Structure 1
Amino acid sequence: MIAYFIPPEKLGTPPMSDSPWELLPTASNHAQSLDGLYILLTAVTGISFVLVIGTMFYFMWKYKMKSEDDKTSPLTHNGKLEFAWSAIPAIFLMVFFVWGELDFVKLSSPPADSIDIHVTGQKWYWTFEYPGRPVAATTEVEDGEIAPLLVVPKGQAVRLTMTSKDVIHSFYIPAFRVKKDVVPGRYTYVWFEATELGDFPVFCTEYCGDEHSSMLAVVRVVEPEDYKAEVAAATTLEQGEGESLEQFGEKVYKAFACNSCHNTDATRKVGPGFGGLYGKSENLADGSSVEADENYIRESIMEPNAKIVAGYTPQMPSFAGQINDEQLNALIAYIKSLK
């Protein structure tokens, strides 16, 4: 599983509307119906606000006490009026419920021929895995930075099977109007059919820790005939021609989200910094010490809870079965190069 923690400023400007009074781009089959419900809710509540507050001020003005001799009207109620102000809102509430329920059922019931993609949430990044591909999808977004990438074909149904490794996250694509909680210990599902080509931002909308706001990714909508090639390109992590082992190791470091928890200098983050780590004597939580050589670094990646550095808690997941020997050797070479 490969993903990348990326600061918001590196993602670029999301393709949002030019004006705060405009709706977001509509880039999926769900967007138009949900926008219609949103507009109806806004219109009804806005009109209701004006009517209620306006009537209140009118009555305050018309029936204000003008003298000490003013008496309250003997009328106690108006049956027709009371029925109207109960029945009319009830009708609108039923319309809201039925419309929302139909959209919810549609959002939760993917077609049988949907493309299946597995999504994993973890502090603080997304992982997208495709059937038959050993590496999760990533893309270069800016200045050599890498972000998790969800590649989908235009006009075809895509089902996301989602789970979390740690806490509750919430997967949200604003332009698609798709949002679903991602829960540890179970699977949740959502589907969509993209209708517009281009790149669209993904957010986590459930507070999940310090770097919650940076838990970002990219959805790339491509033509159906380009889909397989785009997925193959996004799920390939190999040493390029003319690329040094350390340079490839830096790509692995970013692609496997090492920088979500480890800085490239000696400063601590969630875990220890990598700067000057190689050859250093590390004090462990059990009171012993160990030299940070190749074997220690390898063990820390494959079995991170075998030796916990003093002052840290066992939070790092194991990458056994996810990173191959070539990628691991390159990552170790990159860590060794950091001073």
Structure 2
Amino acid sequence: MDRFRLFPPQASTTSHEVDALFFALTLISLFFMVVIFLPIIFFSVKYRRGSPADRSNPRSGSFLIESGWTIGPIFLSLGLFAWGAVAYFRMERRPANAIDVQVVGRQWMWKLQHAEGKREINELHVPVNTTVAMTMTSQDVIHSFFVPAFRVKQDVVPGKYTGEWFKPTRTGEYHIFCAQYCGTQHSRMIGRVVVMEPAAYERWLKSGEPTESIVQTGERVFHDRGCSGCHAPNSQFHAPLLQGLYRNPVPLVNGTMVTADDQYLRDSILQPGKQITAGYQNIMPSFAGHLSEEEIMQLIAYLKYIGNQPPASQ
């Protein structure tokens, strides 16, 4: 990996756009610094105490000049805001057909798992020119997943899911940092992204002992924890069905609607009484403290899988 440098290499599809905005802001700031401070220095010297400079009454003001230095910066600020907003929303919009990676931050390491089941600690292997989308959470305090070479940084928050994606354009190894102070060993919470050629990545992915995919592990957790006893299509208990659920509206007992996204599934597992589905009683026990963050993410991956299947009849 490269040693620390002022400007890390541009190794993703978003790095050029981020750098362009950064340098534009820097140059504009330098321009206004010169425009403001040079006259200040000049007049400070010219009108210093004891100088023979003319101190008679100044000329009357100019409406054109005063309007210009007010309106000009307004439009400049709006232009920079629009530029930054377009770049931000483009980076926030997750592309389709991305490789899924689950990330759990903890003091003081990164735990990562690929959709195929491969696990890593403080390392992330990805293929070049392929979009990688990460679903992240923390099991203790707030962290922040930062890859300077990709110009991506996202807070990793306990109790909720945040997302981040990138598309690497150069093979190599790139630093991972935690960019949010998280305790006494915060500076040691580092890692690396290894960007490989697609063929080499496939060989790496298949190396080692065979593993369950995240969905397969989630299915096992679903049955081992007794979830299937109530939520299976042929269950004797009156519980909401999960087929066809994901990303669809869910009516609640209070008359409102909520979309069944990742956060909804997580809350339903850990806080089942928070959002009760209309037509059902609040009889489900909470699994808070009984499932690890990895098991919760695996279970949600399985719920998303069956949630995309055609709904079955009750």
> Which TM class, normalised by the smaller chain length?
0.5 to 0.7
Counterpart Cα distance in 2 of 1:118 and 1:69:
70
Match of 2:161 in 1: 187
C-alpha displacement at 1:226, in angstroms? 2.4
Identical-pair percentage: 34
Note the residue ranges of structure 2 that are not aligned, 5 or more in a row.
212-290, 297-314
C-alpha displacement at 1:87, in angstroms? 2.2
Counterpart Cα distance in 1 of 2:90 and 2:294:
38
> Secondary structure in 2 aligned to 1:137?
strand
C-alpha displacement at 1:235, in angstroms? 7.9
Cα 1:193–1:60 change in 2 (3 A) is: same
Note the residue ranges of structure 1 that are not aligned, 5 or more in a row.
1-13, 139-147, 238-316, 323-339
State the AA in 2 paired with 1:92: L
> Secondary structure in 2 aligned to 1:208?
coil
Is 1:94 matched with 2:78? yes
C-alpha displacement at 1:91, in angstroms? 2.5
Q: Deviations over 1:266-303 (max 9, x none)?
A: xxxxxxxxxxxxxxxxxxxxxxxxxxxxxxxxxxxxxx
Q: Deviations over 1:239-269 (max 9, x none)?
A: xxxxxxxxxxxxxxxxxxxxxxxxxxxxxxx
Q: TM-score, normalised by structure 1?
A: 0.58
Match of 1:116 in 2: 100
Give the conservation status (yes or no) of the 8 Å contact 2:47–2:53: no
- How large is the Cα RMSD of the aligned pairs? 2.9
Give the conservation status (yes or no) of the 8 Å contact 2:110–2:189: yes
Counterpart Cα distance in 2 of 1:74 and 1:221:
64
C-alpha displacement at 1:93, in angstroms? 1.5
Is 1:43 matched with 2:27? yes
Q: Deviations over 1:96-153 (max 9, x none)?
A: 21121111111111111111111110000001111131x5124xxxxxxxxx211111
> Secondary structure in 1 aligned to 2:180?
coil
Choose which of 109, 120, 132 in structure 2 pairs with 1:158: 132
Counterpart Cα distance in 2 of 1:26 and 1:67:
53
Choose which of 15, 34, 41 in structure 1 pairs with 2:2: 15
Counterpart Cα distance in 2 of 1:320 and 1:189:
16
Choose which of 121, 124, 149 in structure 1 pairs with 2:123: 149
C-alpha displacement at 1:213, in angstroms? 0.4
C-alpha displacement at 1:29, in angstroms? 0.4
Q: Deviations over 1:55-88 (max 9, x none)?
A: 1122234455668996552545322222222222
Give the conservation status (yes or no) of the 8 Å contact 2:178–2:186: yes
Match of 1:105 in 2: 89
Give the conservation status (yes or no) of the 8 Å contact 1:110–1:157: no
Counterpart Cα distance in 2 of 1:25 and 1:224:
21
Give the conservation status (yes or no) of the 8 Å contact 2:104–2:294: no
Of structures 1 and 2, the one with the larger relative CO (CA 8 A, separation 6+) is 1
C-alpha displacement at 1:318, in angstroms? 6.6
> Secondary structure in 2 aligned to 1:209?
coil
Alignment of 1:270-285 (within 5 A): none
Is 1:84 matched with 2:71? no
Give the conservation status (yes or no) of the 8 Å contact 2:46–2:53: no
Match of 2:258 in 1: none
Cα 1:318–1:154 change in 2 (3 A) is: closer
State the AA in 2 paired with 1:199: E
Counterpart Cα distance in 1 of 2:25 and 2:159:
35
Is 1:176 matched with 2:160? no
> Secondary structure in 2 aligned to 1:179?
strand
Is 1:227 matched with 2:201? yes
Counterpart Cα distance in 1 of 2:108 and 2:57:
64
Counterpart Cα distance in 1 of 2:293 and 2:153:
28
Give the conservation status (yes or no) of the 8 Å contact 1:173–1:202: yes
Cα 1:318–1:180 change in 2 (3 A) is: closer
Cα 1:319–1:80 change in 2 (3 A) is: closer
Q: Which moved more, 1:75-84 or 1:214-223?
A: 75-84
Aligned residue pairs, count = 218
